[in-house]
A and B are shown apart, each in its own frame.
Chain A
Amino acid sequence: KQEVTQIPAALSVPEGENLVLNCSFTDSAIYNLQWFRQDPGKGLTSLLLIQSSQREQTSGRLNASLDKSSGRSTLYIAASQPGDSATYLCAVHYTGTASKLTFGTGTRLQVTL
């Protein structure tokens, strides 16, 4: 079964810390992997999309890596700020699934002052 897992479910860090969020997937046959941010009661905001042929993507303080062979992606957040507090979701587009994404259940991040 094609699944996506995110561990831990929740994380609390002090402001300024660099942190890594993890995403694992069960099948290396993917088109791409997408990271999202969701604030409470809001929709999802796309952060980064990594194609299967890419190793990483960067946007500002965010860097996402992809290792298909091990079925893992990480989202690195540099110099965390209280405004980074949100739930972070990863989603995988597995081949053979039309345009559907398979979502993880997310990591809820709190950055404290």
Chain B
Amino acid sequence: DVKVTQSSRYLVKRTGEKVFLECVQDMDHENMFWYRQDPGLGLRLIYFSYDVKMKEKGDIPEGYSVSREKKERFSLILESASTNQTSMYLCASSLGAMNYNEQFFGPGTRLTVL
């Protein structure tokens, strides 16, 4: 079974802090994704990566950056956390094949910025 893990289930940070969210997958997937999920807004894509050191902006990249130095690990960085970044953050991965890209999700990180 594909396993996607996230470094924390719950995280509380203060405004202005630099925040790192880590995601690791164990199935040698090429693609990795970061989403945030908010009530009434659904899942929104922040960034995705289709290879090591490659990244593309999603629908809401402002205020975030990412890093993918190794294939299995994809990090989401909040350079200066703000209260409007309080949310549920979900990481996912999938194979690179365009016609078969079933996404597998991690358990999520509930981030609260005070």
The residues of A with any CB-CB pair to B shorter than 8 Å are 31-32, 34, 36, 41-46, 49, 51-52, 89, 91, 93, 98-101, 103-106
Contact = CB atoms under 8 A, between A and B. Distances in A.
Of the four ranges (under 10, 10 to 19, 20 to 34, 35 or more), the interface on chain B belongs to 20 to 34
A98 B56 contact: yes
Interface in B13-27: none
B100 A32 contact: yes
Contacts of A31: 98-99, 101
Given A42-B108, A43-B90, A44-B105, A32 B99 contact: yes
Interface of B: 4, 31, 33, 40, 42-43, 45, 48, 50, 56, 58, 88, 90, 92, 94, 96, 98-108, 110
Given A41-B110, A42-B108, A51 B103 contact: no
Mostly helix, strand, loop or mixed at chain A's interface?
strand
A2 to B, nearest CB: 12
Given A34-B102, A44-B103, A99-B50, 17 more contacts: A31-B98, A41-B88, A41-B108, A43-B4, A44-B105, A46-B104, A46-B105, A51-B100, A91-B103, A98-B50, A98-B56, A99-B48, A99-B96, A99-B98, A103-B42, A105-B40, A106-B42
